[in-house]
């Protein structure tokens, strides 16, 4: 099953995918209305709890940034204001030199997990969605642990479009990831190349903190960092999860 959350006519609705009569992609709201994708405002597909992000979780990515493979997961937290839905816009501040996308598999926790064994970890997963976690490298103070201005920017973590049920993704450890900028393929990888896979991450995190339903684990991005500019359309695609669209805009849209 695929579920989204959208806003329409002043209310928030759950929605499922629905092809329109003319062949375009659309959504069916819980009240039965069928609308085109651009007739609704897309929200993150769930009410999110804690956002847990991984750094350098793909070996080629670590090498791209001139780091050795981490001995244990590099974890940091993100605030709720970072989140944005499908088809939203992300601000590129004036004067920065290098801002790039990060296509990531997002793991959605379905039930509380504390001191979970690797063999039991997947039972605590509700499902999966796509994340695009932008970073501004100009602001990086420590290449080992991303700082707040790099990774906690308002509207710079796009999540969606669908929350796909765990049962519909039988092997999350072997999914193709692709990112397109203005239609050009710029990043490609596979979740099998994660340094710490999903069961390992859940076991590790739950060894020192309680994971709760609605928590989101962003599992890192493959190599392929590309600078994005105002006006660029960025689409992140993960096998079985759909395509997450986003546009880069400048300060003027935000009155800055």
CATH of the domain at 227: 3.90.850.10
Residues 71, 104 within the same domain: yes
Number of domains in the chain: 2
Please compute the mean of the pLDDT values over residues 14-34 and round it to a whole number: 94
pLDDT band at 235 (very low <50, low <70, confident <90, very high): very high
User: Which residues are paired to 14 by β-bridges?
Assistant: 5
Residue 240: give the domain boundaries: 44-254
Final residue in a domain of this structure, among 9, 27, 43: 43
Give the pLDDT score at 100.
94
Mean pLDDT, range 85-103, rounded to an integer: 96
With a cut of 80, say whether residue 211 has pLDDT above it. yes
Q: Are residues 214 and 101 in the same domain?
A: yes
Confidence check: pLDDT of 62 > 70: no
- Spatial separation of the C-alpha atoms in residues 57 and 84, rounded to whole Å: 23
Say if CB 7 and CB 41 are below 8 A apart: yes
Does the pTM surpass 0.75? The reply is yes
Query: Based on the domain organization, do 190 and 223 belong to the same domain?
Result: yes
* Average pLDDT across the chain, whole number: 92
pLDDT of residue 141: 66
Contacts of 39 (CB under 8 A, 6+ apart): 8
Predicted local confidence at residue 140, as pLDDT: 76
Across the range 220-224, mean pLDDT stands at 92
Contacts of residue 232, Cβ cutoff 8 Å, sequence gap at least 6: 181, 182, 247, 248
- Band (pLDDT 50/70/90 cuts) for residue 253 is confident
Alpha helix positions (H), the chain: 59-64, 148-151, 198-206
CB neighbours of 71 closer than 8 A, spacing ≥ 6?
Answer: none
- Over residues 108-144, the pLDDT tens digits come to 999 999 999 999 999 999 999 999 999 998 887 665 5
Predicted pLDDT of residue 196: 94
In this structure, the answer to whether residues 105 and 3 fall within a common structural domain is: no
Q: Which tokens sit at 20?
A: 């329109």
Residues 59 and 165 in one domain: yes
Do 29 and 79 reside in the same domain of the chain?
no
Burial of 229 (C-beta count, 10 Å sphere; 0-12/13-18/19+): exposed
Count of positions (residues) in the chain: 256
> Is the confidence at residue 66, as pLDDT, over 60?
no
Is residue 141 domain-shared with residue 202, that is, in the same domain? yes
Q: Give dist(CA 72, CA 180) in Å, integer.
A: 30
Q: Is the dihedral of CA 79, 81, 82, 86 positive or negative?
A: positive
Q: CA-CA distance, 173 to 129, in Å (whole number)?
A: 14
109 with 207, same domain: the answer is: yes
* 129: CB partners within 8 A, 6+ apart: 45, 106, 108, 159, 160, 161, 162, 163, 164, 241
> Above 90 in pLDDT, residue 239?
yes
User: 31 and 9, same structural domain?
Assistant: yes
More confident position, 247 or 253: 247
pLDDT, residue 184, reads: 97
pLDDT at residue 142, rounded to an integer: 61
CA distances, 124 to each of 54, 111, 177, 212, 213 (Å): 18, 5, 23, 9, 9
Give the CATH number, domain containing residue 36. Answer: 2.30.30
Same domain for 123 and 182, yes or no, is yes
């Amino acid at each position: 099953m695929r579920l989204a959350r959208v806003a329409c006519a002043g209310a928030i609705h759950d929605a499922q995918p629905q092809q329109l009569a003319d062949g375009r992609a659309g959504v069916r709201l819980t009240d039965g209305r069928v609308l085109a994708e651009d007739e609704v405002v897309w929200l993150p597909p769930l009410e999110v709890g804690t956002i847990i992000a991984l750094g350098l979780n793909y070996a080629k990515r670590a090498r791209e940034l001139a780091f050795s493979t981490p001995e244990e997961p590099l974890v940091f937290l993100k605030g709720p204001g970072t989140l944005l839905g499908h088809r939203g816009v992300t601000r590129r501040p004036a004067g920065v030199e290098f801002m790039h996308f990060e296509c990531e598999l997002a793991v959605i926790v379905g039930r509380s997990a504390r001191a979970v064994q690797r063999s039991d970890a997947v039972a605590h997963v509700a499902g999966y969605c796509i994340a695009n976690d932008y970073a501004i490298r100009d602001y990086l103070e420590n290449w080992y642990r991303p700082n707040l201005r790099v990774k906690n920017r308002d509207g710079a973590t796009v999540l969606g479009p669908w929350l796909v049920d765990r049962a519909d993704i039988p092997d999350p450890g072997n999914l193709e990831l692709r990112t397109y900028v203005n239609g050009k393929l710029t990043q490609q990888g596979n979740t099998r190349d994660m340094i710490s896979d999903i069961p390992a991450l859940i076991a590790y995190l739950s060894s020192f903190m309680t994971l709760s339903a609605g928590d989101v684990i962003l599992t890192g991005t493959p190599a392929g960092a590309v600078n994005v500019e105002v006006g660029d359309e960025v689409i992140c695609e993960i096998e079985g999860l759909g395509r997450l669209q986003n546009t880069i805009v400048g300060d003027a849209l935000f009155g800055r």
